[in-house]
Structure 1
C-alpha cells in the first residue's frame, strides 16, 4: 500500500487547502472532483490512491508521477477520473 508523506514529494506545493481532512474522504477516482496540481493536500492523496491502484510502491515512481502531473498533463484535464485515464494511457514505468 502506498503511504507516502509530504516529505517524500520532490516538487514544491502549496499546503494551504482549507479542508485538508476532506481529501481523506475521497475514494476512487471521481469524475466530479477536480485536482489542483499545485496543492499538496490534493496531489499527495491522489498519487497514493493511483499508486495503490497500480500496485506501485517506489518513491522514484511517485516522483516521476509528480513530474508528469506538473509538466505533461494537459491543463484541460482536471477531474480525478480523467487524470487517471490520461495517466493510464500516457504513463509507463
Structure 2
C-alpha cells in the first residue's frame, strides 16, 4: 500500500496522463526512464518507490521529496535513477 497519495500532494497543477499497464515505462522500480516533474503519476510513483525503499513512515518525508523535485531538481536531471541520486545527495541540505 502506498504511503503517499494523490490527495497528499501539495501542488495541484500536475498533468495526469495514465500509462497502460503493459507500457514498458512501468517497470516497478526507478530506472533509466525519463522523468517528468510535471506529470503527477510519475512524481507520485517515484516518491512512493523511494519511500518504500528507504522505509519512510510518514507523509512529511514524502512532502519534502515532492518539494525538492518541484522546486530544486535541476532541469537537466531527467532520468529516474539520476533523480534518486540527486535526492540522496541533497536530502539533508
What is the number of equivalent residue pairs in this alignment?
91
Q: Secondary structure at the match of 1:34?
A: coil
Larger fraction in helix: 1
The Cα RMSD (Å) is 2.3
TM-score (norm 2): 0.83
Structure-1 separation of matches of 2:24 and 2:47: 12
C-alpha change, 1:20 and 1:91, in structure 2 (3 Å) is farther
- List alignment gaps of at least 5 residues for structure 2: none
Structure-2 separation of matches of 1:23 and 1:38: 20
Structure-2 separation of matches of 1:24 and 1:2: 19
TM-score (norm 1): 0.83
8 A contact 1:23–1:45 mirrored in 2: no
- List alignment gaps of at least 5 residues for structure 1: none
Structure-2 separation of matches of 1:76 and 1:43: 16
